[in-house]
Amino acid sequence: MFKKNKKVLDIAGYGAAVLTQIAEPIKEINEEIITLSGKMIETMFAFDGIGLAAPQVSKSLQMFVLGIMVDDDKFYDNLKPDEVSLLKQMPVTFINPSIISSSEECKTKEEGCLSIYEVYGNVTRPEKIVFTAQLLSGENITLEATGLLSRALQHECDHLNGILYVDKMNEEDAAQIAKKLKKLKRNNKKSKFLRFFK
């Protein structure tokens, strides 16, 4: 039987209304936000995720955490100093984030989501974005992100606008996972703790 760590939050599964809502801006980075950030990081790592947005733990707030941890130094080749510095600080919490601009050049890659249990699909997204957010320290950052960082930031920003990666898939790919999604929705209605029975 899975024993639940107290710091690990329940994840809102596909079909939950909170995942389709536009999240509220955060007015002040107070104790509550700092505590939530810590719990979200614990939860993200407990489920081997690289990102988790507040709506996924049923908090409709403009905030997400990223934990892209890469040991391989080659990963950082060709990245700009700003990007490397942010990646090396991970896990990082982003408050009131937004995407200022996106490149015309797009790339298609497979994505998954902790709220969409064991379903994966191809999503086409802009390769580069200019992104801005506040960090938990209150510091404002603006940087150009590429590759995995760009994709992860876009996936998480979408969550704050009530959009899931499956909403962005092309019709053909979406049709292939439609049955799985239907089943997930049905199961998530029955038990919000489904995720713990892995």
Provide the minimum distance between the beta carbon of 81 and Zn ion in the complex, in angstroms, as a whole number: 28
By beta carbon distance, the residue nearest Zn ion is: 113
Catalytic residue among 104, 118, 156, 172: 156
Q: Is 156 a catalytic residue?
A: yes
Distance CA 185, CA 128 (A): 33
Q: Looking at beta carbons only, is 113 or 184 nearer to Zn ion?
A: 113
Angle, helices 81-88 vs 147-160, to 10°: value is: 70
* Of the candidates 127, 136, 147, the residue with the CA atom closest to the CA atom of residue 83: 147
* Of the candidates 91, 102, 99, 169, the residue with the CA atom closest to the CA atom of residue 133: 99
Provide the minimum distance between the beta carbon of 65 and Zn ion in the complex, in angstroms, as a whole number: 12
Provide the minimum distance between the beta carbon of 73 and Zn ion in the complex, in angstroms, as a whole number: 28
Task: Give the largest CA-CA distance in the chain.
Answer: 48
Residues near Zn ion (CB under 5 A) are: 113
Q: Give the active site residues.
A: 156
